[in-house]
Structure 1
Amino acid sequence: MAILLLTSASGAPGVTTTALGLALCWPRDVLLVDADPHPSHAVESGYLVAGTDAGAGLADLAGAHRAGTDLTAALWRQVIALPGIDGRPSPTARYLSGFGHPAQPALFTMIWPAIAASLAELGDAGVDVIVDLGRAGPDGPPAELCARAGAVGVVTRCGLRPLAGLAVNAEILETVASRTTATVGLVTVGAGRPYSAREISAQFRMPVLAEMVEDPRAAAVLSDGAPGPRGWASGRYAAGLRHSASRLAGLLAEAAKEVAL
């Protein structure tokens, strides 16, 4: 169960930026999967600045599934190495691009079970998986991914407006929790602005799995491919990513041990 799902219930709290930052700071081999049902190619047009051919990604897997070929092998052929912040390929982080058309997610209803199984195979082989699910629709994330997950993080900012949106969409959280035996918790962005992680956890009766620093300028390096400010790698934002990546990787490792027992 070395799969981490990241989603949000409302708004745009920065799921993709968070997922990408965690992948780049992950302490083990990791695959970042763009499974946002509202396709935008945010990583390709942002962090990669359209300078890397990310391939067909998930879209290619539908054809492989129809042809009855080895889906795990087909998936791995579509994977690219993510460049690190210094521009060199990351030794541990890889990326699978997402849907190329708004109609494609609806075609994956019958394919998700096989893809989820392939992602679980990667986990068994020592590659952790982070799945960027973007904003969840009213039906919640794919049940097959939820069932295979080791942890599910619901990303939210800490202001009144995003938390009100989270409360209004509480049924989505309940749907996610009903589909998995994994830990379902919150990933906060900007705790203390104005509500603390502890206050938010108590309000929603969910654990806080990780806390992200809110720093728009530093985050723009990931979201838009902006030049990194001096000392980016040693700043609070990057340090927060490394701490959260280590914590979440440990959570997945514990989940995998429990399954093995």
Structure 2
Amino acid sequence: MAILLLTSASGAPGVTTTALGLALCWPRDVLMVDADPHPSHAVESGYLSAGTETGGGLADLAGAHRAGTDLTAALWNQVIALPGIDGRPSPTARFLPGFGHPAQPALFTMIWPAIAASLAELGDAGVDVIVDLGRMGSDGLPAELCARAGAVGVVTRCGLRPLAGLSVNAETVEAVSSRTAATVGLVTVGAGHPYSAREICAQFGMPVIAEVADDPRAAAVLSDGAPGPRGWASGRYASGLRHSAARLAGLLADAAREVAL
């Protein structure tokens, strides 16, 4: 149960940037998986824009699945080490590229069970997994991933417009909750602008499991590969990511212990 799913109900609250930031601050070995069904190669063209070579990612795993290859081994052959903010490879964070074409996600209906099992195997081996699922569709999230998740974070900004979008899609979020025994909660971006995490929690009846500051300049280091401003690593944005990563890693560890009992 060492799998964290990150998604959003509407809009573009920064799911990928948040997933990447959490991975880079994660206290244990971690793999970030780009499984956004609306592919954009955001990590490759943004944070990795310096030219880091990446593999075929999920698309190649589909071929490995059809060929009957050991999927966990094939998956691990596709990952790359994420460079830290200082440009050096992170000793603990790795990245699996996502879909290369908008038509590919529809072909994964029969493949997700095997992918989910392989990701769970990594969790059993001590590697936590953060899956970036982008904006959920009307069908919710892949059921196999939900069934194996230890936590599901619905990322939202804290203004009226994004919260209205979350409200409109409340039934879809509730359907996701019904498919998993995982903790399902909100990951807020910019709490207090204008609504606080406590107000949002009370309104939607969901726990806030992580909070990320709304700092476009600091976030651009992750989303666009922009140079880090002075004091980035000790600033409010990075500090919030570290705190949230520690909290979410604890949620996954608790979920794994419950399964083991």
What's the offset of the Cα at 1:162? 0.2
Taking structure 2 as the reference length, what is the TM-score of the superposition? 0.99
The runs of at least 4 aligned residues of structure 1 exceeding 6 Å deviation read none
1:19 counterpart residue number: 19
Identity %: 89
Residue number in structure 1 paired with 2:255: 255
For 1:81-96, what aligned pairs fall within 5 Å after superposition?
81-96=81-96
Instruction: Show structure 1 runs of 5+ residues with no match.
Output: none
Query: Distance in 2 between the 1:109 and 1:171 partners?
Result: 22
C-alpha distance in 1 between matches for 2:214 and 2:107: 36
Count residues with an aligned counterpart. Answer: 261
How many Å separate the matches in 1 of 2:164 and 2:199?
Answer: 14
Whether 1:177 aligns to 2:168 is no
Cα deviations across residues 24-79 of structure 1 (Å, max 9, x unaligned)? Answer: 00000000000000000000000001511111000000110001110000000000
Tell me whether 1:105 sits opposite 2:92 in the alignment.
Answer: no
Q: 3-state SS of the aligned residue for 1:94?
A: strand
Which deviations, in whole Å up to 9, do the C-alpha atoms of 1:83-105 show, x marking residues without a partner?
00000000000000000000000
Question: How far apart are the structure 2 equivalents of 1:172 and 1:59?
Answer: 27
Deviation string for 1:199-235 (max 9, x for gaps)? 0001000000000011000000000000000010011
User: Please, which moves more after superposition, 46-55 or 7-16?
Assistant: 46-55
Q: CA deviation at 1:174?
A: 1.1
Cα RMSD of the aligned pairs, angstroms, is 0.5
Whole-angstrom CA distance in 1 between matches of 2:50 and 2:167: 36
Deviation at 1:249, TM superposition (A): 0.2
Aligned equivalents of 1:4, 1:223: Cα separation in 2: 20
Question: Structure 2, unaligned stretches of length 5 or more?
Answer: none
Q: For 1:155-166, list aligned pairs within 5 A.
A: 155-166=155-166
Is 1:188–2:188 an aligned residue pair? yes
Q: Secondary structure at the match of 2:37?
A: coil
Counterpart check, 1:6 vs 2:23: no
| 1:223 counterpart letter in structure 2 | S
Secondary structure of 1:214's match? coil
State yes or no: 1:203 paired with 2:211.
Answer: no
What TM-score does the superposition give when structure 1 sets the normalisation length?
Answer: 0.99
Distance 2:172 2:210 in 1: 20
What's the counterpart of residue 74 of structure 2?
Answer: 74
